Structure 1
Amino acid sequence: MFNQATLFLLVLLAIGVVGKNQSLIIAVAVLLVLKWTGLDSKFFPHIQGKGINWGITLITLAVLVPIATGEIGFKQLGDAVKSPYAWIALASGIAVALIAKGGIHLLADDPHITTALVFGTIIAVALFKGVAVGPLIGAGIAYLAMRLYNFFT
Protein backbone atom coordinates (compact mmCIF):
# COMPACT_ATOMS: atom_id res chain seq x y z
CA MET A 1 0.00 0.00 0.00
CA PHE A 2 2.85 2.41 0.74
CA ASN A 3 5.29 2.24 -2.16
CA GLN A 4 7.20 4.63 -4.39
CA ALA A 5 4.09 5.56 -6.39
CA THR A 6 2.13 6.37 -3.23
CA LEU A 7 5.01 8.41 -1.83
CA PHE A 8 5.27 10.33 -5.11
CA LEU A 9 1.52 11.03 -5.06
CA LEU A 10 1.72 12.21 -1.44
CA VAL A 11 4.56 14.59 -2.38
CA LEU A 12 2.40 15.91 -5.23
CA LEU A 13 -0.50 16.28 -2.81
CA ALA A 14 1.71 18.31 -0.49
CA ILE A 15 2.82 20.49 -3.41
CA GLY A 16 -0.82 21.00 -4.33
CA VAL A 17 -1.71 21.98 -0.78
CA VAL A 18 1.26 24.36 -0.44
CA GLY A 19 0.55 25.83 -3.89
CA LYS A 20 -3.19 25.99 -3.08
CA ASN A 21 -3.98 24.22 -6.34
CA GLN A 22 -7.42 22.64 -6.08
CA SER A 23 -7.16 20.74 -9.38
CA LEU A 24 -3.94 19.02 -8.38
CA ILE A 25 -5.27 18.22 -4.91
CA ILE A 26 -8.46 16.66 -6.32
CA ALA A 27 -6.60 14.71 -9.01
CA VAL A 28 -4.09 13.25 -6.54
CA ALA A 29 -6.81 12.50 -3.98
CA VAL A 30 -8.86 10.60 -6.56
CA LEU A 31 -5.81 8.58 -7.62
CA LEU A 32 -4.92 7.77 -4.01
CA VAL A 33 -8.48 6.66 -3.23
CA LEU A 34 -8.49 4.43 -6.31
CA LYS A 35 -5.14 2.93 -5.29
CA TRP A 36 -6.08 2.41 -1.65
CA THR A 37 -9.44 0.83 -2.50
CA GLY A 38 -7.89 -1.55 -5.04
CA LEU A 39 -9.83 -0.04 -7.94
CA ASP A 40 -6.68 1.22 -9.62
CA SER A 41 -6.27 -1.82 -11.88
CA LYS A 42 -9.81 -1.31 -13.16
CA PHE A 43 -9.81 2.48 -13.62
CA PHE A 44 -6.19 3.56 -14.22
CA PRO A 45 -5.95 2.06 -17.73
CA HIS A 46 -9.16 3.86 -18.76
CA ILE A 47 -8.08 7.15 -17.22
CA GLN A 48 -4.64 6.92 -18.82
CA GLY A 49 -6.01 5.86 -22.20
CA LYS A 50 -8.98 8.22 -22.44
CA GLY A 51 -8.31 10.95 -19.88
CA ILE A 52 -6.80 13.45 -22.30
CA ASN A 53 -9.80 13.06 -24.61
CA TRP A 54 -12.19 13.44 -21.66
CA GLY A 55 -10.35 16.58 -20.58
CA ILE A 56 -10.38 18.09 -24.06
CA THR A 57 -14.09 17.30 -24.33
CA LEU A 58 -14.78 18.95 -20.96
CA ILE A 59 -12.78 22.06 -21.89
CA THR A 60 -14.58 22.23 -25.25
CA LEU A 61 -17.91 21.90 -23.47
CA ALA A 62 -17.04 24.81 -21.16
CA VAL A 63 -15.92 26.97 -24.09
CA LEU A 64 -19.17 26.28 -25.98
CA VAL A 65 -21.50 27.17 -23.09
CA PRO A 66 -21.69 30.88 -24.10
CA ILE A 67 -22.90 29.78 -27.53
CA ALA A 68 -25.49 27.48 -25.98
CA THR A 69 -26.74 30.23 -23.65
CA GLY A 70 -26.95 32.76 -26.47
CA GLU A 71 -24.25 35.05 -25.07
CA ILE A 72 -22.25 34.48 -28.26
CA GLY A 73 -24.01 34.32 -31.60
CA PHE A 74 -23.48 35.18 -35.23
CA LYS A 75 -23.61 38.92 -34.50
CA GLN A 76 -20.74 38.65 -32.01
CA LEU A 77 -18.80 36.51 -34.47
CA GLY A 78 -19.32 39.12 -37.18
CA ASP A 79 -18.25 41.90 -34.82
CA ALA A 80 -15.19 39.92 -33.73
CA VAL A 81 -13.78 39.47 -37.22
CA LYS A 82 -13.58 43.25 -37.50
CA SER A 83 -10.99 43.31 -34.71
CA PRO A 84 -7.29 42.68 -35.32
CA TYR A 85 -7.19 40.94 -31.93
CA ALA A 86 -9.80 38.46 -33.15
CA TRP A 87 -7.62 37.60 -36.14
CA ILE A 88 -4.64 37.12 -33.82
CA ALA A 89 -6.80 34.88 -31.60
CA LEU A 90 -7.98 32.91 -34.65
CA ALA A 91 -4.41 32.39 -35.87
CA SER A 92 -3.29 31.44 -32.35
CA GLY A 93 -6.09 28.88 -32.04
CA ILE A 94 -5.12 27.31 -35.35
CA ALA A 95 -1.41 27.30 -34.46
CA VAL A 96 -1.87 25.75 -31.02
CA ALA A 97 -4.16 23.03 -32.39
CA LEU A 98 -1.64 22.15 -35.08
CA ILE A 99 1.26 22.17 -32.63
CA ALA A 100 -0.67 20.00 -30.14
CA LYS A 101 -1.38 17.46 -32.89
CA GLY A 102 2.29 16.41 -32.85
CA GLY A 103 2.14 16.22 -29.06
CA ILE A 104 -0.43 13.43 -29.12
CA HIS A 105 2.02 11.18 -30.97
CA LEU A 106 4.89 12.14 -28.68
CA LEU A 107 2.89 11.38 -25.53
CA ALA A 108 1.91 7.98 -26.94
CA ASP A 109 5.31 7.00 -28.31
CA ASP A 110 7.91 8.32 -25.86
CA PRO A 111 7.29 7.52 -22.16
CA HIS A 112 10.42 9.20 -20.77
CA ILE A 113 9.51 12.48 -22.48
CA THR A 114 5.97 12.11 -21.17
CA THR A 115 7.33 11.89 -17.61
CA ALA A 116 9.26 15.13 -18.01
CA LEU A 117 6.28 16.88 -19.59
CA VAL A 118 3.89 15.74 -16.88
CA PHE A 119 6.31 16.77 -14.15
CA GLY A 120 6.80 20.16 -15.82
CA THR A 121 3.04 20.60 -15.95
CA ILE A 122 2.71 19.65 -12.28
CA ILE A 123 5.35 22.21 -11.32
CA ALA A 124 3.64 24.92 -13.38
CA VAL A 125 0.19 24.10 -11.98
CA ALA A 126 1.28 23.76 -8.37
CA LEU A 127 3.80 26.57 -8.08
CA PHE A 128 2.92 29.09 -10.79
CA LYS A 129 -0.89 28.79 -10.95
CA GLY A 130 -0.66 27.32 -14.45
CA VAL A 131 -3.43 25.38 -16.14
CA ALA A 132 -3.14 21.62 -16.63
CA VAL A 133 -3.55 21.62 -20.38
CA GLY A 134 0.23 21.63 -20.36
CA PRO A 135 1.04 18.01 -21.16
CA LEU A 136 -0.65 18.08 -24.55
CA ILE A 137 0.48 21.48 -25.74
CA GLY A 138 3.81 20.95 -24.00
CA ALA A 139 4.27 17.72 -25.93
CA GLY A 140 3.34 19.53 -29.12
CA ILE A 141 5.89 22.26 -28.47
CA ALA A 142 8.50 19.63 -27.54
CA TYR A 143 7.70 17.69 -30.72
CA LEU A 144 8.05 20.84 -32.83
CA ALA A 145 11.30 21.80 -31.07
CA MET A 146 12.71 18.29 -31.58
CA ARG A 147 11.86 18.37 -35.27
CA LEU A 148 13.50 21.78 -35.63
CA TYR A 149 16.54 20.57 -33.69
CA ASN A 150 16.88 17.52 -35.95
CA PHE A 151 16.44 19.71 -39.02
CA PHE A 152 19.24 22.10 -38.02
CA THR A 153 21.70 19.48 -36.76
Structure 2
Amino acid sequence: MNQPMLFLLLLLAIGFIAKNQSIMFAVGLLIVMRIIGLDEKVFSTVQSKGINWGVTIITIAVLAPIATGEIGFKELFDALKTPYAWIALASGMFVALIAKNGLTLLANDPHITTALVLGTVIAVSLFKGVAVGPLIGAGIAYMAMKVFEFFQ
Protein backbone atom coordinates (compact mmCIF):
# COMPACT_ATOMS: atom_id res chain seq x y z
CA MET A 1 0.00 0.00 0.00
CA ASN A 2 1.61 3.26 -1.10
CA GLN A 3 0.99 6.87 -0.08
CA PRO A 4 -1.29 7.84 -3.00
CA MET A 5 -3.53 4.82 -2.37
CA LEU A 6 -3.68 5.53 1.38
CA PHE A 7 -4.57 9.14 0.64
CA LEU A 8 -7.31 8.06 -1.78
CA LEU A 9 -8.70 5.58 0.76
CA LEU A 10 -8.75 8.34 3.39
CA LEU A 11 -10.66 10.58 0.97
CA LEU A 12 -13.05 7.72 0.22
CA ALA A 13 -13.69 7.29 3.94
CA ILE A 14 -14.31 11.03 4.35
CA GLY A 15 -16.73 10.92 1.42
CA PHE A 16 -18.50 7.94 2.95
CA ILE A 17 -18.78 9.54 6.40
CA ALA A 18 -20.04 12.78 4.85
CA LYS A 19 -22.36 10.80 2.50
CA ASN A 20 -20.96 12.71 -0.46
CA GLN A 21 -21.57 10.71 -3.63
CA SER A 22 -19.43 12.97 -5.83
CA ILE A 23 -16.32 12.44 -3.72
CA MET A 24 -16.99 8.71 -3.35
CA PHE A 25 -17.52 8.29 -7.11
CA ALA A 26 -14.45 10.35 -8.06
CA VAL A 27 -12.15 8.65 -5.56
CA GLY A 28 -13.57 5.21 -6.33
CA LEU A 29 -12.96 5.74 -10.04
CA LEU A 30 -9.38 6.86 -9.39
CA ILE A 31 -8.75 3.81 -7.16
CA VAL A 32 -10.11 1.44 -9.81
CA MET A 33 -7.99 3.11 -12.49
CA ARG A 34 -4.88 2.70 -10.31
CA ILE A 35 -5.67 -0.94 -9.57
CA ILE A 36 -6.19 -1.90 -13.22
CA GLY A 37 -3.16 0.09 -14.34
CA LEU A 38 -4.81 2.91 -16.27
CA ASP A 39 -3.26 5.55 -14.04
CA GLU A 40 -0.07 5.80 -16.13
CA LYS A 41 -2.06 6.45 -19.31
CA VAL A 42 -5.02 8.46 -18.07
CA PHE A 43 -4.08 10.52 -15.01
CA SER A 44 -1.80 13.00 -16.76
CA THR A 45 -4.47 13.71 -19.40
CA VAL A 46 -7.20 14.10 -16.79
CA GLN A 47 -4.93 16.34 -14.72
CA SER A 48 -4.05 18.60 -17.64
CA LYS A 49 -7.44 18.73 -19.36
CA GLY A 50 -9.94 17.77 -16.66
CA ILE A 51 -10.77 21.31 -15.54
CA ASN A 52 -11.55 22.32 -19.11
CA TRP A 53 -13.73 19.21 -19.55
CA GLY A 54 -15.53 20.01 -16.30
CA VAL A 55 -16.14 23.61 -17.31
CA THR A 56 -17.49 22.37 -20.64
CA ILE A 57 -19.88 19.93 -18.94
CA ILE A 58 -21.09 22.63 -16.53
CA THR A 59 -21.58 25.01 -19.46
CA ILE A 60 -23.63 22.39 -21.31
CA ALA A 61 -25.78 21.89 -18.21
CA VAL A 62 -26.34 25.64 -17.87
CA LEU A 63 -27.18 26.04 -21.58
CA ALA A 64 -29.46 22.98 -21.79
CA PRO A 65 -32.62 25.00 -20.92
CA ILE A 66 -31.89 27.23 -23.92
CA ALA A 67 -31.53 24.17 -26.15
CA THR A 68 -34.83 22.71 -24.88
CA GLY A 69 -36.66 26.00 -25.41
CA GLU A 70 -37.33 26.38 -21.68
CA ILE A 71 -35.43 29.68 -21.77
CA GLY A 72 -35.71 31.96 -24.77
CA PHE A 73 -35.36 35.63 -25.66
CA LYS A 74 -38.63 36.50 -23.92
CA GLU A 75 -37.42 35.04 -20.61
CA LEU A 76 -34.07 36.76 -21.04
CA PHE A 77 -35.60 40.17 -21.68
CA ASP A 78 -38.16 39.68 -18.88
CA ALA A 79 -35.37 38.73 -16.47
CA LEU A 80 -33.30 41.79 -17.36
CA LYS A 81 -36.13 43.96 -16.08
CA THR A 82 -35.30 42.91 -12.50
CA PRO A 83 -32.44 44.15 -10.34
CA TYR A 84 -31.63 40.55 -9.37
CA ALA A 85 -30.91 39.71 -13.01
CA TRP A 86 -28.42 42.57 -13.23
CA ILE A 87 -26.79 41.38 -9.99
CA ALA A 88 -26.56 37.85 -11.46
CA LEU A 89 -25.13 39.22 -14.71
CA ALA A 90 -22.45 41.20 -12.89
CA SER A 91 -21.69 38.24 -10.60
CA GLY A 92 -21.26 35.90 -13.56
CA MET A 93 -18.87 38.31 -15.21
CA PHE A 94 -16.91 38.82 -11.98
CA VAL A 95 -16.56 35.10 -11.31
CA ALA A 96 -15.41 34.43 -14.88
CA LEU A 97 -12.71 37.08 -14.51
CA ILE A 98 -11.63 35.63 -11.16
CA ALA A 99 -11.44 32.14 -12.71
CA LYS A 100 -9.18 33.46 -15.49
CA ASN A 101 -6.63 34.49 -12.86
CA GLY A 102 -7.11 31.10 -11.21
CA LEU A 103 -5.98 29.37 -14.38
CA THR A 104 -2.91 31.62 -14.43
CA LEU A 105 -2.08 30.74 -10.82
CA LEU A 106 -2.51 26.99 -11.35
CA ALA A 107 -0.29 27.12 -14.44
CA ASN A 108 2.45 29.16 -12.73
CA ASP A 109 2.31 27.64 -9.21
CA PRO A 110 1.15 24.02 -9.45
CA HIS A 111 2.10 23.36 -5.80
CA ILE A 112 -0.80 25.66 -4.81
CA THR A 113 -3.08 23.02 -6.31
CA THR A 114 -2.48 20.78 -3.27
CA ALA A 115 -3.94 23.31 -0.85
CA LEU A 116 -6.80 24.14 -3.23
CA VAL A 117 -7.68 20.47 -3.68
CA LEU A 118 -7.60 19.91 0.08
CA GLY A 119 -9.84 22.93 0.64
CA THR A 120 -12.25 21.70 -2.03
CA VAL A 121 -12.34 18.17 -0.61
CA ILE A 122 -13.02 19.50 2.89
CA ALA A 123 -15.79 21.80 1.66
CA VAL A 124 -17.39 19.12 -0.53
CA SER A 125 -17.18 16.26 1.91
CA LEU A 126 -17.83 17.97 5.22
CA PHE A 127 -19.90 21.04 4.32
CA LYS A 128 -21.83 19.72 1.32
CA GLY A 129 -20.13 22.16 -1.04
CA VAL A 130 -19.84 21.69 -4.78
CA ALA A 131 -16.52 20.82 -6.43
CA VAL A 132 -16.26 23.82 -8.70
CA GLY A 133 -14.00 25.36 -6.12
CA PRO A 134 -10.47 24.75 -7.38
CA LEU A 135 -10.66 27.18 -10.28
CA ILE A 136 -12.57 29.88 -8.43
CA GLY A 137 -10.50 29.17 -5.32
CA ALA A 138 -7.33 29.64 -7.34
CA GLY A 139 -8.68 32.94 -8.68
CA ILE A 140 -9.54 34.17 -5.20
CA ALA A 141 -6.14 32.99 -3.95
CA TYR A 142 -4.48 34.86 -6.83
CA MET A 143 -6.31 38.06 -5.89
CA ALA A 144 -5.47 37.63 -2.19
CA MET A 145 -1.81 36.98 -3.02
CA LYS A 146 -1.67 40.16 -5.10
CA VAL A 147 -3.18 42.15 -2.21
CA PHE A 148 -0.69 40.52 0.18
CA GLU A 149 2.22 41.39 -2.14
CA PHE A 150 0.97 44.96 -2.44
CA PHE A 151 1.08 45.48 1.32
CA GLN A 152 4.49 43.87 1.81
* Same-fold status (TM-score > 0.5): yes
The residue type paired with residue 93 of structure 1 is G
* Residue 135 (structure 1) aligned with residue 141 (structure 2): no
Q: What is the DSSP-based 3-state SS (H/G/I as helix, E as strand, rest coil) of the residue aligned with 2:52?
A: helix
Give the share of equivalent positions with the same residue, in percent: 70
- Gaps spanning 5+ residues in structure 2: where? none
After the TM superposition, which segments of 4 or more aligned residues of structure 1 sit over 3 Å from their partners?
Answer: none
1:87 is matched with: 86
> How many residues are aligned here?
152
- The alpha-carbon deviation at position 102 of structure 1 amounts to 0.6
1:1-153 matches, within 5 Å, as: 2-153=1-152
**Residues 17-47 of structure 1: CA deviation (Å, up to 9, x unaligned):** 0111111001001100110011100000110
- Gaps spanning 5+ residues in structure 1: where? none
The residue type paired with residue 27 of structure 2 is V
Question: RMSD of aligned C-alpha atoms?
Answer: 0.7
Q: What is the DSSP-based 3-state SS (H/G/I as helix, E as strand, rest coil) of the residue aligned with 1:45?
A: helix
- The alpha-carbon deviation at position 99 of structure 1 amounts to 0.6
The residue type paired with residue 66 of structure 1 is P
Q: What is the DSSP-based 3-state SS (H/G/I as helix, E as strand, rest coil) of the residue aligned with 1:132?
A: coil
The residue type paired with residue 35 of structure 2 is W
Q: What is the DSSP-based 3-state SS (H/G/I as helix, E as strand, rest coil) of the residue aligned with 2:111?
A: helix
> Normalized against structure 1, the TM-score is what?
0.97
Alpha-carbon distance in structure 2 between the residues aligned to 1:112 and 1:65: 35
- The alpha-carbon deviation at position 152 of structure 1 amounts to 2.1
Query: Does the aligned pair in 2 maintain the 1:106–1:114 contact within 8 Å?
Result: no
